[in-house]
């Protein structure tokens, strides 16, 4: 694999010099708009020792992160949902697909053919994927509720609400007021998703993180500093998903 395949180059009008960002998902080189690509590759070549050290440090950090999700989706596994963990019960079903329900705990209704023919690892993976679909749907409904609620209170209007898994962001607000929220927030306490919805909605009026922006957030989310702190403390675990 050559250098160009090892890292992604991102041009930035704010960058005065090249710098390297190493995360668990990628290596990114942020470079000034007019910096020649050849010079960028030369810069990275001089940083190989540092780069290997940084990658090893990130890997050690990832390995030490405590997962919210169970190692295996089986009877009695504890599944995270809105800041708690709930026991999973697995029941046989005549359906063709796995169905997830939630009351006091989770029930996965699994087709008899799955139970009869799949290995425990394969069954666990099928149940995990069913949970991802279920969680994303619930996150979409709750996000729409929060956005609609606070649009009226703030007298702001979004163009669309999209729920998806993002590897490094909890949410975003585009230039046309399209709001994106990370479905993984449904694993966190309910007030965390509510805070992020408020946060992104406020960017419709205040596009940066100025004092005016935080005053607007605080208008309906006075405990926002606690919620920000929760995400900083537990965000890495949350990002590991299900």
Q: Which fold has domain 138-239?
A: Zincin-like (3.30.2010)
Q: For the chain, what is the mean pLDDT?
A: 92
pLDDT average, residue stretch 143-172: 93
pLDDT score of 219: 95
User: Tens of pLDDT along 167-225?
Assistant: 779 999 999 999 999 999 999 999 999 999 999 999 999 999 999 999 999 999 999 99
The structural domains of the chain, with segments of one domain joined by +, span: 3-64, 78-136, 138-239
Residue 2 scores a pLDDT above 60: no
234/60 Cα distance (integer angstroms): 17
pLDDT score of 159: 95
């Amino acid at each position: 694999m050559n250098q160009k395949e090892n890292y992604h180059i991102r041009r930035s009008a704010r960058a005065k010099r090249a710098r390297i960002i190493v995360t668990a998902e990628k290596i990114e080189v942020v470079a000034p708009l007019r910096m020649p690509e050849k010079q960028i590759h030369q810069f990275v070549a001089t940083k190989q020792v540092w780069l290997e050290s940084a990658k090893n440090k990130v890997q050690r950090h990832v390995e030490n992160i405590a997962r919210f999700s169970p190692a295996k989706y089986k009877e009695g596994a504890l599944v995270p949902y809105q800041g708690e963990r709930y026991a999973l019960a697995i029941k046989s079903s005549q359906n063709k697909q796995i169905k997830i329900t939630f009351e006091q705990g989770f029930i996965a209704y699994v087709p008899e053919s799955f139970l009869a023919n799949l290995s425990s690892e394969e069954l666990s993976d099928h149940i995990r994927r069913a949970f991802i679909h279920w969680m994303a749907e619930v996150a979409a409904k709750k996000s729409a509720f929060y956005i609609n609620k606070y649009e009226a209170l703030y007298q702001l209007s979004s163009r669309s609400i999209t729920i998806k898994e993002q590897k490094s962001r909890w949410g975003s607000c585009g230039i046309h007021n399209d709001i994106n929220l990370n479905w993984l927030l449904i694993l966190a306490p309910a007030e965390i998703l509510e805070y992020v919805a408020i946060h992104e909605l406020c960017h419709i009026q205040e596009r940066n993180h100025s004092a005016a922006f935080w005053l607007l957030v605080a208008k309906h989310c006075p405990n926002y500093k606690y919620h920000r702190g929760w995400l900083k403390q537990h965000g890495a675990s949350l990002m590991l998903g299900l």
